Amino acid sequence: MKKSKLRGLIIAAVLLITLYYFLPLVVDNLPSFWTSKRLKLGLDLQGGSQIQLEVDFTDIQISEKEKEDAVKTALQIIRNRIDQFGVAEPSIQRVGTSNRIAVQLPGLQDPGRAKELIGKTALLEFKLLAEGEQIQELYDKLNAYLDENIEKYDYLQKFMDIETEEALDILESDEDEEENEDESHQIFTKLTSTSDGYPNIVEYENLAVFKTLLKDPEFLAQIPAGLQLAVGKENKNDIYGPRPLYVLLERAELSGNYLESASVRIGQGYDPKTSGKPYIALKFNKSGAKKFANITGENIKKRLAVVLDNVVYVAPTIEDKIPSGEARITGSFTIEESNDLVIVLNAGNLPAPVNIIEERTVGPTLGSDSIKAGIMAALIGMIIVVIFMIIYYGLSGLVADFAVIVNLGFIIAVLTMLEGTLTMPGIAGIILTIGMSVDANVIIFERIRENLKQGKTNRTAVDTGFSRALVTILDANITTLITALVLYQFGTGPIKGFAVTLSIGIVGSMFASIVLVKAIFDGFITNINRAKLSI
């Protein structure tokens, strides 16, 4: 009994989650508590631009390690710039182990804009963070401007009705300022929220809106003179997590031209800040050393941000004057994070040019045709499977068909929940899953038929059929799942899309065939004394 209740709860939870993420795709104007996530379409389905780049080593003589570092640096810079460009779900990948980089920009029909952005020289700067009063002045001015000009910004209307009980006031303003807050909508404040370790952050769901706002000339003109807004880098471990927001002094204290080298080192000695931990060692050239000594001497206990193409990668506190021109950046870095930061710091010294060797535009019409063809193929495949199962297995086949439909909904729901991207190969994976979904039930039903022919009761035939088929089903699906995971690990773009939908489909198929169908048999067949089993 307890086992049946637990199974029922698991089924109910899976079905509710599937419904929660699938329903917005087919029903408009759902209640506000429903998820705002939507299934994203890849380049081949909605159109867009594809650019292939190559790091050119023709005219330079450098070692293999330096070539590898150059490709990684180019990849980091391109990823950073595409992120600023505001394209949803871009794909920036190195092509195998070569010196080529493939960039896919879904929805973008003007590759010229992307080429111009990608082709710019990397700009590495060191900037001080603004002081408290300057930050408060900026927020007050931007809030007041948006309150007065909200009609110009349709995409900000939704922030008008958000409660401001926890509205940001970085400096904990006094009672008079709080009264003034109540009289305004505090729209710019509502775009952001507080977080431990950062004065302010921008949540992922507000990031696109925030970046759009930062491209508006009239809005930028309201930022007090000498100040600049910049977001922090993406967290690789949580790409949908919040991004820190920084208010910087616009004037760069130092540029990347003065940086001679940056490297990762492991701390020695007994200093708890660095002992046994990775840190970044900086070395400036002669001119840079003098400038850096003056900067650090005049700004002790202030934070100096490392900014690449207007994205803040780290903002350490200046602990003391550094006259030698050799500094270090300490913190809670992993080796991988340290290496990534070193790539950014060395970006100003890119040892090889990056050339565009191929560009291609996929029109939305082709994408629409692909979607129609994919949906048609999926529908035809499903109809054939459904009819076959009903003809061959009767009512039991109808139960299996229901499991197929649930599995399809499960695939779409999981892709939506994970904010994945559906591509044409992904649709192919779904179509393949349709056939695989009933495969397990075919094995189970044939076992049940054998048991019935041997004169066993309905309950015994069903229980034995499921238990005997279980090992075979698990073996077949697990080996296929391993293959899908290998494809995902070593494949690129389209192959990964196929592997993702196939993996989700396999998991959903095992749940639907083994758990859901068995529960239906127990509830409506074996627990009722039926003289005959339609199978």
Q: Is residue 533 part of a domain?
A: no
**Strand-strand pairing, 48-55 and 100-106:** antiparallel
State the pLDDT at residue 482.
92
- Least Cα distance to 459 among 414, 408, 521 occurs for 521
Contact by Cβ (8 Å): 533, 525? yes
pLDDT score of 228: 93
What is the predicted pLDDT for the residue at 174? 45
- pLDDT at position 495 is 81
Q: Which two tokens stand for residue 490?
A: 């070593």
Alpha-carbon separation of residue 185 from 162, 175, 211, 413 (angstroms): 9, 17, 20, 36
User: pTM for this structure?
Assistant: 0.55
Same domain as 482, residue 396: yes
Q: Tell whether 435 and 495 lie within a shared domain.
A: yes
> Reduced to 3 states, what is the DSSP secondary structure of residue 243?
strand
Last residue of a domain, one of 362, 389, 405: 362
Cβ partners under 8 Å of residue 500, min gap 6: 415, 420, 426, 429, 488
For 360, the enclosing helix (H) or strand (E) is strand 354-362
pLDDT computed for residue 173 by the predictor: 46
Domain membership flag for residue 531: no
CA distance linking residue 99 with residue 97, whole number of Å: 7
The verdict on 162 and 227 lying in the same domain is yes
534 occurs within a structural domain: no
Which residues does 90 contact at the CB level (< 8 Å), separation at least 6? 82, 83, 103, 104, 105, 106
474, part of any domain? yes
Segments forming the whole domain that contains residue 396: 2-41+364-526
CA distance linking residue 361 with residue 105, whole number of Å:
10
Q: Last residue of some domain: 293, 321, 349?
A: 349
Residue 219 inside a domain? The answer is yes
CATH number at residue 266: 3.30.1360.200
Tell which residue, 324, 317, 278, 313, has the closest CA to residue 301: 317
For residues 500 and 417, give the distance between their C-alpha atoms in angstroms, rounded to a whole number.
13
- Alpha-carbon torsion (358, 361, 367, 373), positive or negative: negative
* 53 membership: H or E segment, kind and range: strand 48-55
Domain boundary among 349, 379, 404: 349
CA distance 167 to 140: 12
For residue 535, is it within any domain?
A: no
The number of domains in the chain is 3
Q: Tokens representing 215?
A: 């491209």
For 302, which DSSP code? Answer: S
Question: What are the backbone angles phi and psi of residue 49, rounded to the nearest 5°?
Answer: -125, 145
Q: Are residues 306 and 390 in the same domain?
A: no
Residues 149 and 226 in one domain: yes
| Nearest C-alpha neighbor of 390 from the set 427, 349, 445, 347 | 445
| Type and span of the H or E element at 94 | strand 91-94
Residues 49, 22 share a domain: no
d(C-alpha 158, C-alpha 187), whole Å: 9
Report the pLDDT value the prediction gives residue 169, as an integer from 0 to 100: 47
**266 contacts 276 by C-beta, under 8 angstroms:** yes
Cβ neighbour number for residue 65 with a 10 Å cutoff: 8
Same domain? 200 vs 146: yes
Residue tagged 């941000």 (tokens): 305
Are 43 and 425 a contacting pair, CB within 8 Å? no
- Measure the CA–CA gap between 387 and 401, rounded to whole angstroms: 9
**Residues forming beta bridges with residue 259, ordered by sequence position:** 284
What the block records as the tokens of 97 is: 């182990």
Give the span between the Cα atoms of 74 and 386, in whole angstroms. Answer: 51
**Could you tell me if 243 and 232 are in contact, meaning their C-beta atoms sit under 8 angstroms apart?**
yes
- What CATH number does residue 464 fall under? 1.20.1640.10
pLDDT in tens, the chain (535 residues): 567 788 888 999 999 999 998 888 888 777 877 887 778 777 777 777 888 888 888 877 778 888 888 888 888 777 766 765 555 567 788 887 788 888 877 776 666 666 666 666 567 889 999 988 899 899 999 989 988 888 888 888 777 766 544 444 444 444 444 444 445 678 888 888 765 545 588 888 888 888 888 888 999 999 999 999 998 887 777 777 888 899 999 999 988 888 888 888 887 766 666 677 888 888 888 898 999 999 999 999 999 998 877 888 888 889 888 888 888 887 777 787 787 777 767 655 555 677 888 877 766 655 567 677 777 887 888 888 889 889 998 888 899 999 988 998 999 999 888 877 787 788 888 888 877 778 888 899 999 889 888 888 888 888 888 888 888 888 888 998 999 888 888 776 678 778 888 899 999 988 988 899 988 888 876 566 666 778 8
Q: Alpha carbon of 520 to those of 385, 395, 402, 514, 526: distances in Å?
A: 20, 11, 10, 10, 9
Does residue 206 sit in the same domain as residue 318? yes
Query: Are the C-beta atoms of residues 128 and 299 closer than 8 Å to each other?
Result: yes
Residue with tokens 């996530």: 37
What CATH number is attached to the domain comprising 69? Answer: 3.30.70.3400
Residue 412's closest CA among 20, 40, 15, 22? Answer: 22
In this structure, the answer to whether residues 341 and 412 fall within a common structural domain is no
Output the six-digit token pair for 144: 């007041």
Asked if residue 301 and residue 224 are part of one domain, the reply reads yes
Kindly provide the residue ranges of all beta strands, DSSP E only, lying in 100-155, ordered along the sequence: 100-106, 124-128
Residue 330 domain-assigned?
A: yes
Q: Do 117 and 216 lie in a common domain? A: no
Q: Could you tell me if residue 274 is inside a domain?
A: yes
Specify whether 343 is located in the same domain as 458: no
CA dist 18 and 507 (Å) reads 14
| DSSP state, residue 159 | G
Based on C-alpha coordinates, what's the Rg of the chain? 29
